[in-house]
A and B are shown apart, each in its own frame.
Chain A
Amino acid sequence: MSLAAELLVAGLLVLGGAFILIGSWGLARLPSLMTRLHGPTKASTLGVGACLIGSMIYFPASGATWSAHELLITIFLFLTAPVSANMIAKAHLHRQGHGIDPNPADGIVSGLPAPPSGGDWATFHGAAEDDDAPPAHGDAAAS
C-alpha cells in the first residue's frame, strides 16, 4: 500500500471521527430537541461518509477487490436521514403542541410562534378529528 493512499485513508478516517464526535457533542450539549436535531446530521453525512470513503479507498489500495457495499450504505443513509429527522420533529411537535421549545435566546419566549399568514401550522391540520395522540406536555411533565 503506497504512502499516498495510506495518508489519504488516515486523513479521511480522522475527518470522519472528528465529525462524528462533533455531531454527538452537539446532541449532548444543545438546549432543546429542535436544536439537537441539527447535531447528528453532521455525523450521519460527513462523519459516516468520510469513514466509508476511506474504507472504499483502503480495500482496493491494499489489494482486495473493489465492492459497492460502502456506496450502498452511504446512499441509504443519505436517503433515510431526512425522513427520520422529519418524523422525529413531527412526533415532537404533536406531543408538545404549541408549547414547544420556548427558547429565549431566539426571542421565542412562549413557544411555537403563529405562522405569518394566520391560521394554524399545517401539521396540526386534521389533528382534531383523529385526536388519539397523547395530551400536550404529558411527556415534559412526566420527566
Chain B
Amino acid sequence: MTILSAGLGFALACISLAILLNLFRLVRGPTSGDRILAVDTLTINAIALIVVFGVAHATETYFEAALLLAMVAFVGTVAYCKFLLRGDIVE
C-alpha cells in the first residue's frame, strides 16, 4: 500500500463520515435554517468527494460535475433562504 493510497483512503473515509453527520443534522433539524445549512454543507462535501474520487481514479472527467454542483448548490441555498424570507422565490 503506497502513501498516496493510504491518504486517499483516509480522506474518503473522513468525507463519508462527514456526509453521515450532515445527514444526521438534515434529519434532526430542528429549524429550516439548520436543514438549509446541512444541505449546503452536504453539497460542499460532495464536491470534495468527487475531487478525491477523481484523484483516486486518476481521471479529470469528474471536475465538470464538481463545478456544476458548486454552482447549483449556491443557487439552491439562496433560493431556499429567499423562500423562507419572502414566501416566494421570483417576485
Contact = CB atoms under 8 A, between A and B. Distances in A.
B51 A84 contact: no
Contact of B67 (A47, A59, A73, A88): A73
Interface in B7-32: 7-8, 10-15, 17-19, 21-22, 24-25, 29-32
Interface residues of A, number: 61
Contacts of A21: 14-15, 17-18, 21
Contacts of A1: 4
Contacts of A13: 7-8, 10-11, 52, 55
Q: Is the contact region of chain A dominated by helix, strand, or loop, or is it mixed?
A: helix
A76 B69 CA distance: 11
A137 B72 CA distance: 30
Nearest to B24: A28
A80 B67 contact: no
Interface in A1-23: 1, 3, 6-7, 9-11, 13-14, 16-18, 20-21, 23
Interface of A: 1, 3, 6-7, 9-11, 13-14, 16-18, 20-21, 23-25, 27-28, 33, 36-37, 40, 43-44, 47-48, 51-52, 54-55, 58-59, 62, 64, 67, 69-70, 72-73, 76-77, 80, 83-84, 87-92, 94-96, 130, 132-134, 139-140, 143
